[in-house]
Amino acid sequence: MVLYLGAATGTTASHIADLVGPRGIVYAVEKSPRAFAQLLGTATLWPNIVPLLQDVRESGSYLGWVPPVDIIYMDIPQPDQVRIATEHVTRFLRTGGRLMMVLKLASLGRERSAQEHLHQCLAELQRTLRVGEPSPLDPYYRRHAFIVAELREP
Ligand SMILES: C[S@@+](CC[C@H](N)C(=O)[O-])C[C@H]1O[C@@H](n2cnc3c(N)ncnc32)[C@H](O)[C@@H]1O
């Protein structure tokens, strides 16, 4: 089971749907109605994608629809992306599950360097997760880092 936050039209979600196979489900959250319309089209071709037209800042609205998941994948350009990630980890990730996150450092403001933002994000995530070495996505995506983190045992 995968919870995908910021699914857009479903391009990457469809690859993940292939990886989890027909017995897995990808719950795909997207708030833009325009992107969501295309995500619905993607879901007709990948029936193991469940599209949810929702704002990730209101995760309570889909709490009853999404069971505990093995992976949360997040790709959201918001300044509070780490807070959103940790809230979802607490609410939706099963013990031993993983967070896979595209950290968008450019969305965190220009008053600090990307490196400083990265350090602060990692420190916040480490309160609830065991965080692996971040992978910079430069030069393909500037000021982006990919994070894989595991939920600590309670
Ligand atoms: C970079 S795109 C994601 C691309 C997608 N991961 C892919 O590879 O195909 C970011 C998406 O996050 C969505 N998004 C941004 N803020 C959101 C929010 N608060 N709730 C839900 N979706 C949001 C945007 O509408 C956009 O479609």
DSSP-assigned states of every residue in 82-150: HHHHHHHHHHHEEEEEEEEEEEEGGGG-SSS-HHHHHHHHHHHHTTTEEE---EE-TTTSTTEEEEEEE
Are 108 and 126 in a shared domain? yes
> What gap in Å lies between CA 112 and CA 121, rounded to an integer?
12
Are 94 and 139 in a shared domain? yes
The closest-lying atom of ligand 1 relative to the alpha carbon of residue 6 is 12
Of the pLDDT bands very low, low, confident and very high (cuts 50, 70, 90), residue 1 is very high
Supply the CATH number for residue 21's domain: 3.40.50.150
Residue 24 falls inside a structural domain: yes
CB neighbours of residue 142 within 10 Å: 11
> Ligand 1 in contact with 58 (CB < 6 A)?
no
Q: Which residue segment(s) compose the domain that 78 sits in? A: 68-154
Are 47 and 88 in a shared domain? no
Are 35 and 83 in a shared domain? no
Are 78 and 150 in a shared domain? yes
Are 77 and 145 in a shared domain? yes
At residue 51, the pLDDT reads: 98
Are 73 and 149 in a shared domain? yes
* Mutation choice for ligand 1 from 26, 29, 31, CB with most ligand atoms inside 8 A: 31
Are 92 and 149 in a shared domain? yes
Residue 153 has pLDDT above 80, yes or no: no
pLDDT digits (tens, 9 = 90+) for 12-41: 999 999 999 999 999 999 999 999 999 999
Are 79 and 153 in a shared domain? yes
pTM above 0.75, yes or no: yes
The closest-lying atom of ligand 1 relative to the alpha carbon of residue 102 is 6
Residue 63 falls inside a structural domain: no
- Count of domains observed in the chain: 2
pLDDT digits (tens, 9 = 90+) for 78-94: 999 999 999 999 999 99
Are 104 and 139 in a shared domain? yes
52 Cα–ligand 1 center, Å? 12
CB neighbours of residue 95 within 10 Å: 10
The closest-lying atom of ligand 1 relative to the alpha carbon of residue 9 is 9
* Mutation choice for ligand 1 from 14, 16, 26, 30, CB with most ligand atoms inside 8 A: 30
